[in-house]
Amino acid sequence: MNRRLLRLGALVAGASVAGPAWACTLCHSQTGEAVRAAVFGSDFWANVGTLALPVPVLVGAVLLVRGVSP
């Protein structure tokens, strides 16, 4: 019983790993390559930094709220 369940699990896991490769319509296209080139361009880390910049400010604000809460 356990072996059958294991085989079924392996089959489902295999299918779920293989699925996205077939379902991804743009992964192997020129559009996909252009998107990856644009995302991982020279400004990638600058964009990550700007995306994350509000995080420390918000953490500080949460600590302030905690400090003034009754």
List interacting residues with another protein (CB under 8 A).
26, 31, 34-35, 38-39, 47-48, 50-55, 57-58, 61-62, 65-66, 69-70
Query: What region, left, alpha or beta, does residue 59 occupy, with left being phi > 0 and alpha being psi -120 to 50 degrees?
Result: alpha
Looking at residue 9, the DSSP 8-state letter turns out to be: H
Smaller CB separation from another protein, 12 or 24: 24
CB of 20 to another protein, least distance (A): 15
CB of 21 to another protein, least distance (A): 18
